[in-house]
Chains A and B, each alone.
Chain A
Amino acid sequence: MSYEVMVGNKACATGVKLARVKVASAFPITPQTTITEYLSDMYAAGEFDFDFVNVEGELTSQVVVQAATAVGARSFTCTSGPGLLYMHHPMQETASKRLPLVMAVVHRGVKGMQPDHSDLMSQQWQGWIHMYVENAQEILDTCVMAYKIAEDKRIRLPVAFGYDGYVLSYTAEPVEIPAQEEIDKFLPPYKPMPSILPGEADPATFARGFGDADPQKPWKIHHEAALMAETVIKEVFADWAKRFGRSYGNGMIEPYRIDDAEAVITAMGTIAGSAMSAVDKLRADGKKVGLVKIRSFLPFPRTDFREIAKKIGAFGIIDRSCQPGMGGPTWHQMRSTLYDQPGPQILGFYAGLGGKEVRVDDIVKIGEKTLKAARGEKVEPLVDWV
């Protein structure tokens, strides 16, 4: 174990190294760029045994790591905003082939270069596991854990973890680097399932398509695997906490001061950090507001929120993206999650889109409005722009 003050992107590259990735491929795009540079430096210096493929575009990087994962090499790629949109086409295939790839998405909005969650949120139908992380330490830890989650035989799905560009990718923080031997005990070498190698491949899988299977079945199996990820994520995070002494709630959510809360704010990524300070401020004023950081957006932490909903009067949902004509994806998910039970009011707040700064006082106001709703007071409008 060692410590280093490093930026988010270096924490990411360090996680890749600790996970003993064999093939990495990426195309530079701000604010992800320096991950490709850190990896290039590591490759040039022979810091660990891996292959780095410098490609001509994001679509290629996604397909390269897809194929490398298929033959049995643990692989990594990373991108941001428009680069992720360019990967859209092959990403679907990564998930449909059930390839346990891990990808870092350094958030960059699609209406400008500043960060919001519109890039990763736009990929909800791709069949990946989506996580959102808050700080550099969490980037490193999540990068390693993501492989254990993705490669679990019960799910075998690719994992994308997102973190806010600039404010996190380029901001230095002290990071604890676990010892390689400890990581090796946690994360065993990757074995592909099934094998695609000549002589080992099952012809029914990789050669001609046989059989008259129900064409809907792959969707059903895929959906069930994605739901199963909740169990796997909780197990892996519990194991990590035991081994390394660091935990992020149960992996699905990270609650903060919610035990006696009347109202709960939810936030994702770096906004969750500011939201903690806001909660402390509200608490100092005697206002019983708590925070839930949503770590896993896909699958959505339904079980956890159904429990929390029983004890509180209102949720204030912060969305850092907006699907025009539809609204905030987290707000929608929460309302869908709690539809079948009598529960709290669910307020929506758009904040930080296009990289707009979200201050602690903005979140204090969100907390106060949510608390009002929790106490049965009428609040207007239900969804607002911060």
Chain B
Amino acid sequence: MSQRITRAQIPLEEMTIVPGSACQGCGAALASRLTFKALGPNVIRHGIPCCPDAVTKHPRAGAVFEGGGASLTGTARGLKAIGRTDIKAVGFFGDGGVYDIGFQGLSAAAERNENILVICKDNEAYMNTGNQRSSGTPKYAETSTNPIGPRSRGKETQKKNVPMIFAAHYVPYIATASVAFPEDLIAKVKYARDLEGFRMIIIQSPCPVGWNFDSAKTIEVARTGVQSGMWPLYEIENGTSFKLNYKPKELKPVVEYLKPQRRFRHMTEAEVNEIQTYVAERWQKLVKADEVHQVII
């Protein structure tokens, strides 16, 4: 598991190229900045169609939308073939490219235990095309393809549990992270960088435009998400060992997370309670898993 670091241990050297073309308050841009700081320069960055987030100095390999897992595989195998395993093949993909259209290729890469690092900047919808739902969208969130109306209460189902699905491939390392917890994020990226085999980190990346909140509040929204149990921070090794990285004595009520975001503004008290119950039940399992250091699902 990753080792805790302090803020003073965060690398000073920036890898991002400024000015960028991300929106104000973009969580994904911050995720990119922190991730690539932690990774350093010896990386080929892989992208697929997604929001611009923050461009870095690394050489970039692009692939078709569904080709994230495959292009990382090809790079890693090619680097091995030419004797350059010092260079890391890293993907920085959105939730569309990880949860949905790119899911098959990534699952296959995980099953083959390719020597690749997949970072998902999860902003919970297809933000590049204007906030259409993904399978990473949480229940009741309004998106441009889940407008609220007499026949719709927003997204119909819960968010796909992608970290646990990938953990069930029994790969070396799976973690969740948040832009509001940079030390934790950087420690995980550094730890994952130096492991062999398939590693995946899913970073909560609030989107002020799609989630519809004040762009000055990105970190607050992200932090409340973690503190309320909506976005738990954890690590899983080899599909079995489990560690919960953030354990407050008491969770904040989910309403504190939901309320500042206009994508949830239509929710009734009953709907909020439903989410509260769902989160509380999941949280209990995670705490229990942490106690026994084993994945429980």
Q: Which residues of A contact B (CB under 8 A)?
A: 22-23, 25, 50-51, 53-57, 59-73, 75, 89-90, 93, 196-199, 201, 203, 206-208
Contact = CB atoms under 8 A, between A and B. Distances in A.
A72 B104 contact: no
B64 to A, nearest CB: 5
A383 B69 CA distance: 47
Contacts of A25: 74, 77
Contacts of B74: 23, 25, 53, 63-71, 75
Given A67-B71, A197-B44, 18 more contacts: A22-B78, A22-B81, A23-B74, A23-B78, A53-B77, A59-B70, A63-B70, A65-B74, A67-B75, A68-B74, A68-B81, A71-B75, A73-B77, A75-B78, A90-B63, A93-B63, A198-B44, A207-B59
Nearest to A208: B55
Nearest to A25: B74
A57 B73 contact: no
A63 B82 contact: no
Given A67-B63, A198-B42, A206-B61, A56 B77 contact: no
Interface in B16-75: 17, 41-44, 46, 55-64, 66-67, 69-75
Contacts of A68: 74-75, 77-78, 81
B5 interface: no
Given A55-B70, A56-B104, A196 B63 contact: no
Contact-residue bracket for chain B: 35 or more
Nearest to B88: A198
A194 to B, nearest CB: 10
B64 A90 contact: yes
B44 A64 contact: no
A229 to B, nearest CB: 24
Best-buried of B56, B59, B60 by chain A (most CB within 10 Å):
B59
B44 A60 contact: no
A197 B55 contact: no
Give the most central of B78, B80, B111: most A CB within 10 Å.
B78
Nearest to A57: B104
B67 A70 contact: no
14 contacts: A56-B105, A56-B108, A59-B66, A60-B104, A60-B105, A62-B70, A63-B105, A67-B63, A68-B77, A73-B82, A93-B62, A198-B43, A198-B44, A206-B60
Nearest to A61: B70
**Closest 3 A-B residue pairs measured CB to CB?**
A67-B74, A68-B78, A63-B70
B52 to A, nearest CB: 10
B75 to A, nearest CB: 4
B81 A67 contact: no
Contacts of B71: 63-64, 66-67
Nearest to A72: B82
Contacts of B61: 67, 70, 196, 206
Interface in B69-118: 69-75, 77-82, 84, 87, 104-105, 107-108, 111-112
A22 B73 contact: no
Contacts of B17: 207-208
A207 B78 contact: no
Contacts of A59: 64, 66-67, 70, 105
A64 to B, nearest CB: 4
A50 B81 CA distance: 7
B59 A60 contact: no
Contact of B59 (A55, A61, A66, A197): A197
A66 B61 CA distance: 10
Given A57-B104, A89-B64, A207-B17, A196 B59 contact: yes
Contacts of B43: 198
A90 B44 CA distance: 19
A63 to B, nearest CB: 3
Q: Which of A25, A53, A62, A89 has the most CB of B within 10 A?
A: A53
Contacts of A67: 46, 61, 63, 70-75, 78
B67 A90 contact: yes
- Identify the interface centre among B55, B61, B77, B81: most chain A CB within 10 Å of its CB: B77
Contact of B58 (A50, A55, A90, A198): A198
A198 B41 contact: yes
Contacts of A93: 62-64
A63 B63 contact: yes
Contact of A206 (B42, B59, B75, B112): B59
Contacts of A71: 44, 74-75, 78-79, 82, 84
Contacts of B72: 67
Contact of A198 (B55, B66, B78, B87): B87
